[in-house]
Structure 1
């Protein structure tokens, strides 16, 4: 069910990932997959375009999109929502920014890092200080340090920007971990904005995704931001969703001036509804493919880059690699210049972090094999 697109198709379909590199470069950087759309999404979009759907989206509460996501959350995560809990926005980063603007107090924002680069600047964009909760690159497992989180809140932080599953750690947080976070937040009367864009992409052998809002005692201090974009590769169609189960928070988010909630696309709504209602089987096949790609990468690293360390990839299609053993502060730059592979540089996720890179595995097995082969050729002395 998962169809690998050709290089020529990808240069047209993914003008950022594939179009911003020379033709001899294999792109494994930005978080887009190289797979064709699920057939129901392709059919729904073709029908919508043929019928001329290019007007503004509907602004009704809940609506078809809210119903679709509520059904998806119930099936995939066992999380029961009302359609009216779901509020459209243009993308996840815009949704996070809106939640901070509307719901969070003026104090600092806690950002676990390494973290998603566009969100590293969100605190300052909203007029807040960012305080970092840094994960030790040598730690056996990437975790939220609850004692450190407690101290940051005690020192005045008011919001935790939680990314779960985490990019770039590849972690799925367990119920116990999330309950620990909740208890610290409650102790300080703070807030959580939970970015759950990668929730559909939990891989084989990992614990299931637990929506933060599914925990008791979270509704009055948290919102989630979700989207079909990463799992179903519809980023450019611009339609994410805020999930706010607390009535006061929900109304505050709905009542903002239109200019404050960036307009989402009606074609994004069409794609999201199709993804959430008709693509469960395709999503299951995608998880299998990505799990196979993860396992292939583990084997390739063991064979070609045995001194590389890779955090266990439980979710997402983004592998976080520690390549410090090969002696380059910026291995992504070396691999691009000498090996013609584009990775995401580790210092983009944590300023000053040497020797790390993020590798996108959502491609064909042959491409992934060639990516690692090229990396090894230039990194191994």
Structure 2
């Protein structure tokens, strides 16, 4: 399969369609606007949907392939087009989702020492270290920092004290940061100095917005012997429920260790998820280009709305993802998300779930229609002011 040049438009779901398509995000009372979980209020790319529908018509409901060369080649081609770097297809392994892939990599490849987890951090990955029998070591980034960065001196001390693995989420959720090549090289230098490992969660890589550029950690010289990346088409193409991500393992010895593990180590992914991922990687570029353009417009609209209605709210620059990290503490509410729901009938994600102990912060999903985003911010202003 090859890509096509014609753009495919982004189609906004109606409220009724969204309630059917997104039962978690939209499983809220009818008067509540959902702006929380990381799903988009957009119809799936028709090319991806057609591929899945054809697979269902063909009866593809059995077990997936243990190796999927077509999926591996599709990801490698997609990575080469978008990032100018690609792994060898034999380095790509399917997994059920990104969080499971991170857990598998730590479980099998990491030493017994602690796992460094920068916070604020993706809330579903809190406790991953504990699940694998390791200590979770948090590397806190100050809430007051205008540009969230990994403190290399602090990271160095944590490794010196016995930690052995870093979970690197990049682009970052919920910061919205895209790490530069220089930043990644600095992280590599610290990791190599201590003989540590990196598990790089790059699920948001397709969603880098204009003005920034994604650099895969694995594209940095001197990383292949100590790092893996976990990637997926599911976040960018709104297909998380189809359950298929990919683990990129460039080191042959690490691949051999993973391949030697019992089947029970790796939750089974879905063959329909693999079909969707292949279609997205091979044929999804025109739709993805339209999506990034829409999200860029939403980012600009959010800035205008905050200036007009919530001038005291602070937002770090949103360089990637459709998830804005808002500091609303100036309005005096410790649990700003609870106030938003109670007074404004808007559901946003509480900041405390990404940075325990944080007050006044929320994560806001902007992947919706301009009209809904306008209503969301207006309601937040009514609730918080």
TM bucket by the smaller chain? over 0.9
Structure 1 residue 318 and structure 2 residue 323: aligned?
Answer: yes
1:84: Cα distance to partner? 0.9
On the 8 A contact 1:93/1:118 being kept in 2, the answer is yes
1:136: Cα distance to partner? 0.6
1:255: Cα distance to partner? 2.2
| Runs (5+) with no aligned partner, structure 2 | 1-8
Alignment correspondent of 1:12: 20
Q: Secondary structure at the match of 1:127?
A: coil
Q: Secondary structure at the match of 1:128?
A: coil
Per-residue CA deviations over 1:95-116 (Å, capped at 9, x if unaligned) read 0000000000010000000001
Equivalent in 201, 212, 220 of residue 195 of structure 1: 201
Structure 1 residue 58 and structure 2 residue 34: aligned?
Answer: no
Q: Secondary structure at the match of 2:11?
A: coil
Equivalent in 121, 125, 130 of residue 124 of structure 1: 130
On the 8 A contact 1:318/1:359 being kept in 2, the answer is yes
1:204: Cα distance to partner? 1.2
Per-residue CA deviations over 1:160-196 (Å, capped at 9, x if unaligned) read 0000000000000000000000000000000000000
Q: Secondary structure at the match of 2:198?
A: strand
C-alpha distance in 1, partners of 2:129/2:236? 26
Equivalent in 324, 333, 342 of residue 337 of structure 1: 342
Alignment length, in residue pairs? 377
Equivalent in 132, 136, 151 of residue 145 of structure 1: 151
1:6: Cα distance to partner? 0.7
Please give the residue correspondences for 1:360-371 in structure 2 after superposition, counting only pairs within 5 Å: 360-371=365-376
Please give the residue correspondences for 1:9-88 in structure 2 after superposition, counting only pairs within 5 Å: 9-19=17-27, 21-60=28-67, 62-88=68-94
Please give the residue correspondences for 1:208-227 in structure 2 after superposition, counting only pairs within 5 Å: 208-227=213-232
On the 8 A contact 1:107/1:128 being kept in 2, the answer is yes
C-alpha distance in 2, partners of 1:186/1:85? 21
On the 8 A contact 1:313/1:319 being kept in 2, the answer is yes
1:120: Cα distance to partner? 1.0
Equivalent in 358, 361, 377 of residue 356 of structure 1: 361
Alignment correspondent of 1:374: 379
TM-score normalised to structure 2 length: 0.97
TM-score normalised to structure 1 length: 0.98
| Runs (5+) with no aligned partner, structure 1 | none
1:363: Cα distance to partner? 0.3
Alignment correspondent of 1:105: 111
Please give the residue correspondences for 1:269-280 in structure 2 after superposition, counting only pairs within 5 Å: 269-280=274-285
1:117: Cα distance to partner? 0.7
Alignment correspondent of 2:352: 347
1:81: Cα distance to partner? 1.6
C-alpha distance in 2, partners of 1:111/1:360? 23
Q: Secondary structure at the match of 1:12?
A: helix
C-alpha distance in 1, partners of 2:176/2:194? 28
